[in-house]
A and B are shown apart, each in its own frame.
Chain A
Amino acid sequence: MAFAAFGGGAPAKDNSTKRKGGPIVLALILPGLIYLGLFFMTPLVSLLVTALESPDPSGAIGAYFYDLNFGNFATVLTDYMPQILRSFGYAFAATVFALAISYPLAYFIGVKLRTSPLIQRLMLTLVIAPFFISFLLRTIAWKQLLSDDSGFVSLLHSLHILAPSQFFLGSDAAVIFGLTYNFIPFMTLPLFTNLERLDTRLLEAASDLYASPNKVFRKVTLPLSMPGIISGTLLTFIPIAGDYVNASRDFLGSSKTSMIGTMVEADFLQNWNYPSASALSVLLMGLILVMVTVYVRRSGTEDLL
């Protein structure tokens, strides 16, 4: 399977002799590079250009002209500040929860189950099983399972965690729950690929050198699994920050849980306010790039691809 796509651990040993490439290299990279240039780079530039456009003087809806209207950014920053804060807040919370849930699971499968490879593979298959069924349907399933007349909500009521007038769906907690659920496999896989290669002799060496199990974990296991943690958190945080399906009122959210994506979709597809949608997209992308750069720099793992 394509576990490698979530390549968690240290970069694989590069045992190849690097050859100087001539025309062969061009033939190999140009098609892909041109494709990405056309359909990845150009759209980003186009977003930036659109983000600076101004409304057409005619006042026609959806009509704009090229401009350098940096005010668009100020507008989206003030208008959509709650959504921006919510997006990153949700992303942060869901990433932390996903890490907390995934780490023991990945450790169990990757380290403890080494002696029985077939069970290890089967458990791993179950971890990626959610990928084989539409995430929209899985989210809808949660929506039914946690609906206002579900046993779960009755339980919360009887435990007085929720007031009788309160429900679970539509709350921040429900959105964070859904995001966490949907992205656990993205966290577990890179952790697994890393922990699978963890040299357990190092753990034995540490306990031989008088480290308690607790110390062994903090001083050896955890630092060695850092690359897995970093790719896992990136593979989780970035898509969550841009997600808006979980937060949608038709799924687990409500009008009070809208995220950046919700607004981009609304501005782009319903309001035809292309400059606003573009400015918000550029802002989201910029914030994520800054955060990722700082995060990766600080953790010292820049060799991601």
Chain B
Amino acid sequence: MRKFSLGKLALPVYSVLALVFLLTPIAYTILFSFNDSTRSNTVWEGFTLRHWAQVCNRQDVCDAVTNSIVIGIISTIFATILGTALAIALVRYSFRARSLVSLSLFLPMATPEVVLGAGLAGLFFNAGVGAGMVTIIIAHVMFCLSFVVVTVKARVQTLDPTLEEAGADLYANPRQVFRKITLPLLMPGIISAALLSFALSFDDFIITYFNSGSVSTFPKYIYVAAARGVPAEANVIASAVFILAIVIVLATQIRGAIKRAKLAKS
């Protein structure tokens, strides 16, 4: 018989409570995607699948989400390419501008969004560039870049340079070494970086708000709608995105666990 100890139980119980706290508004949001409401989605009026079935009845919600997805994909592609190159350079090469590069990557992360947003908006305004999809994408690539670098850098640091040397030793020229060894080994880090980048872009509000002009994105739509009540269709979209993301993450983790178990066995 193990001795029952209150002290031993305190930490797990606390942790579960903390997670419940974190997840409560998520559950609420998902629940209210099924609320049989017409305009303001604040009071529970009964269960319905209506909003899920006809989510694009609210054309404005769907347009906003489409914009967010397009912006997220394009920004992610650019940020991932630029950031991966920077990460490789920072870990693998010594060069004089190192600290300058490190600083200019750290600063955007240490700058409040409202400053980044206002600064870019001022620049575009002064340069006479009208705000729209392009300015949003430019802004998103900028703030995603640093996060891509940090993520990919961690992966490059764990990459044993001897593997690339072994590739060269086995008759692969530098281009082939990069394509057949470096890139495949960095891929998990690059994919993580791209997912993070998309998530940051998709959920960004403040910087987007300053640089979007008349273009609507999903977060901007919610912010504007908050004054008069967010329609349940927005909950549907957010819930769908959430469930999709969670399923992907859980699947990867369970697959990883099975793989580890297999490795341990053999």
A residues whose Cβ falls under 8 Å from a Cβ of B: 1-2, 4-5, 7, 12-21, 24-25, 27-29, 31-33, 35-37, 39-44, 46-47, 50, 101, 104-105, 107-109, 112, 117-118, 121-123, 125-127, 129-142, 144-145, 147, 181, 184-185, 234, 238-239, 241-245, 248, 250-251, 260-261, 264-265, 268-269, 274, 277-278, 281-282, 284-285, 288-289, 292, 304-305
Contacts and interface: CB of A to CB of B under 8 A. Distances in A.
Contact of B112 (A42, A144, A241): A241
Nearest to B126: A46
Contacts, number: 304
Nearest to A149: B43
Contacts of A129: 22-23, 26, 242, 246
Given A32-B83, A140-B222, A185-B22, A268 B121 contact: yes
A288 B22 contact: no
Contacts of B157: 12-16
Nearest to B223: A136
Interface string B147-159: 1011101111111
A39 B158 contact: no
B114 A125 contact: no
Contacts of A281: 114-115, 118-119
B103 to A, nearest CB: 8
A126 B142 contact: no
A305 B105 contact: yes
Classify the interface of chain B: helix, strand, loop or mixed.
helix
A1 B195 CA distance: 8
Most chain A beta carbons < 10 A, residue from B94, B95, B252 = B95
B253 interface: yes
B145 A239 contact: no
B241 interface: yes
Interface residues on chain B, size class = 35 or more
A247 B10 CA distance: 34
B108 A40 contact: yes
B4 interface: no
B136 interface: no
Interface in B151-170: 151, 153-161
A134 to B, nearest CB: 5
Given A25-B89, A264-B114, A288-B112, A105 B14 contact: yes
Contacts of A134: 203, 218-219, 222, 238
Nearest to A37: B104
Which 5 A-B pairs have CB atoms at the shortest separation, nearest pair first?
A242-B112, A43-B119, A21-B93, A141-B25, A4-B154
Contacts of A107: 11
Given A25-B89, A28-B86, A36 B142 contact: yes
Contacts of A40: 104, 107-108, 111, 116, 142
Contact of B222 (A121, A137, A278): A137
